[in-house]
Structure 1
């Protein structure tokens, strides 16, 4: 993601904390580059991501996580995303969101969720396992998502209930 797109994305976030979290995450993702110069530019931000985002703000989004442009974070605190998660364009995250894999009975880790474009996560949503969340889905506060969500659905609750 080029710097101009990063700055536009930062501008679209509300609140200084949200802007800082998104900016540091995006700049730290340069550390994943195969280009040595870009990787070196990204290294200090990789370190800053660990210190500020993870330890100070409690927002764990590893630099390798694939998140398309348009990320918005409201109330950035206690957010944990596995590095193998894929998130589409214009995703909205709120406080307490966890997105990751599960430990299978075999002792192996499952695949992580694939999140479509324009998906909105309410506060304290947990989405885990080898699942796909379709475009334009809305996940209600406190929901635990362990199954695929079809495009355009609104879901609430544990095991979830779909609303049209």
Structure 2
């Protein structure tokens, strides 16, 4: 079976984009990785409406990407902070790759908006694709992609 004969209905890229592919969702996740936790802080930093923010946060919680943790400030009602789950933290390389691409091709001429460095040694952080073997970073021309065991044939939409 060739790639063009494979249905994309169960494609993991498509499934991921269904969960997190909307602009505001990715920006909420970006801020969550930088430890923004509270609704008002997300709203103030992102500048989006309460309704849109509440909808995106609700979807991220329902998907198990964020979880809510109650907190209460003196004299106020109990509210909730939003924290990344392990499923959410696994999205970190995706956000870092988007950031890295943006700094290469859509950067502010004055330099990075966010300087991300390894806490241990201070070196800049970068995302690479590598194999499980003893090789370093790989280019797209160095990999082979073929339909896997979950590949399903495209269902013809034309009458037979």
Asked if TM exceeds 0.5, the reply is: no
Give the structure with the larger strand fraction. 1
Higher relative contact order, structure no. (Cα contacts within 8 Å, ≥ 6 residues apart): 2
For normalisation by structure 1, the TM-score amounts to: 0.28
For normalisation by structure 2, the TM-score amounts to: 0.28
Larger radius of gyration: 2
